[in-house]
Amino acid sequence: MNNYGESNGDSNVHEKQVEGHDHCENGDGSDNRVILGIDGGTTSTVCVCIPLFSSSKSLPNPTPILGRAVSGCSNHNSVGETAARGTLEEVMAEALSKSGSDWSAVHAVCLGVSGVNHPTDQERILNWLREIFPSHVKLYVQNDAVAALASGTMGKLHGCVLIAGTGCISYGFAEDGREARASGAGPVLGDWGSGYGIAAKALTAVIRAHDGRGPQTMLTNKILKALSLSSPDELIGWTYADPSWARIAALVPEVVSCAEACDQVATKILVDAVQDLALSVKAVVQRLHLCGEDGNGSFPVVMVGGVLEANRTWDIGKEVMKCIQEQFPGAHPIRPQVEPAVGAALLAWNFLMKESTGNSHS
């Protein structure tokens, strides 16, 4: 999905055009201007503020973070437009305050947010941002998967990212700028490898075991204990009292624990999730031909999200990569060293440098 707005001559980078803007540089080649990078997921929204360095310098590694703020969900599909806008303004204001900067110092904003699935979604969010920032500020809007990819590639768009947290999505870019995605359609349309999908299947298994439609499972006692409930009958009331995706997805550790104890029902739920997650990556790889003509070409797979964290004996992320590499041996996993919000800021910086280079050659 392209950045939405007026074209600057690059078919893969669209943005709001910028008026001339004077600034004062410091002696180290930087100035007081800043970039905001925002990662807006289904569960939370993170904003980081980084300095804008001149085009003659590479961004330092590690990337200096001037300020960081966290707020609630900014997915307009989940919480509505008014709440989403309020969250974005709140988190940006707090990050700027912590950095010692203010709105006038902002030179570019890159927002990666879940729920951006079509140019109309991008235009809606750009309109929000245009009401906040003056015309010289460069605005970029992406799906949150793009920011997550950039967090593993230091702002470069090549390869594939797999996000598996509350929701899941696979997103990729070819070197020629083509892009593709798979999954990410939300729980109603079947993101079954996601945290929500795993936990929802576990809750269903408990109900089925209770009423005699399915096998008995350790999940029953494990989940009831975690929720301080005494009977599976109480699960129905618990689920519909607040059917938020993140609240249900929080039960994934209980499913993993049962699988580690060799519960067959829990194990099958995780095995199915692994297959679904791997399939979403394979679909993107095939559509973009990331593996090359012989199928053995090397490409990164950036792994992001709590479901994929390698901190359990039953390692979902490891199993997903094993499944991918059986078909595409050139796939190599990357665990990002920076969070997606930093990836969004790095993405903005790379867009700015690309534009600067293009202008110098025109």
Contacts of 55 (CB under 8 A, 6+ apart): 352, 353, 356, 357
Q: Does 104 fall in a domain?
A: yes
Mean pLDDT of 167-180: 93
More reliable by pLDDT, 80 or 22: 80
CA–CA gap between residue 233 and residue 226 (Å, rounded)? 15
Which pLDDT value is given to residue 258?
Answer: 97
Contact by Cβ (8 Å): 41, 75? yes
Q: Does 321 fall in a domain?
A: no
3-state secondary structure of 284: helix
Kindly report the CATH number assigned to the domain that includes residue 75.
3.30.420.40
3-state secondary structure of 132: helix
pTM: 0.80
pLDDT tens-place string over residues 314-346: 999 999 999 999 999 999 999 998 999 999 999
Q: In terms of residue numbers, what domain contains 61?
A: 15-156+339-361
Contact by Cβ (8 Å): 162, 183? no
Which pLDDT value is given to residue 55?
Answer: 59
Structurally, the chain folds into a number of domains equal to 1
pLDDT at 126 over 70: yes
Q: Does 147 fall in a domain?
A: yes
DSSP secondary structure, 180-233, as one string: EEEE-S-GGGT-TTSHHHHHHHHHHHHHHHHHTSS---THHHHHHHHHT-SSTH
pLDDT tens-place string over residues 19-65: 333 444 443 444 789 999 999 877 789 999 999 876 555 667 788 99
More reliable by pLDDT, 227 or 357: 227
CA–CA gap between residue 76 and residue 49 (Å, rounded)? 23
Mean pLDDT of 195-214: 96
Using DSSP bridges, classify how beta strands 299-304 and 159-164 pair: parallel, antiparallel or unpaired.
parallel
Which pLDDT value is given to residue 57?
Answer: 59
Residue type, 115: G
Continuous segment of H or E residues that includes residue 78: helix 76-79
Q: Does 110 fall in a domain?
A: yes
More reliable by pLDDT, 205 or 130: 205
Nearest CA among 109, 107, 115, 122 for reference residue 3: 122
Q: Does 220 fall in a domain?
A: no
Q: Does 344 fall in a domain?
A: yes
Nearest CA among 162, 197, 156 for reference residue 181: 162
More reliable by pLDDT, 53 or 308: 308
Which pLDDT value is given to residue 58?
Answer: 66
CA–CA gap between residue 110 and residue 91 (Å, rounded)? 13
Mean pLDDT of 157-186: 92
Q: Does 304 fall in a domain?
A: no
Contact by Cβ (8 Å): 68, 95? yes
Q: Does 114 fall in a domain?
A: yes
169: left (phi over 0), alpha (psi -120 to 50) or beta: beta
pLDDT tens-place string over residues 208-260: 999 999 999 999 999 999 999 999 999 999 999 987 888 999 999 999 999 99
Mean pLDDT of 186-191: 82
What the block records as the tokens of 338 is 């920076």
Nearest CA among 360, 358, 340, 299 for reference residue 11: 358
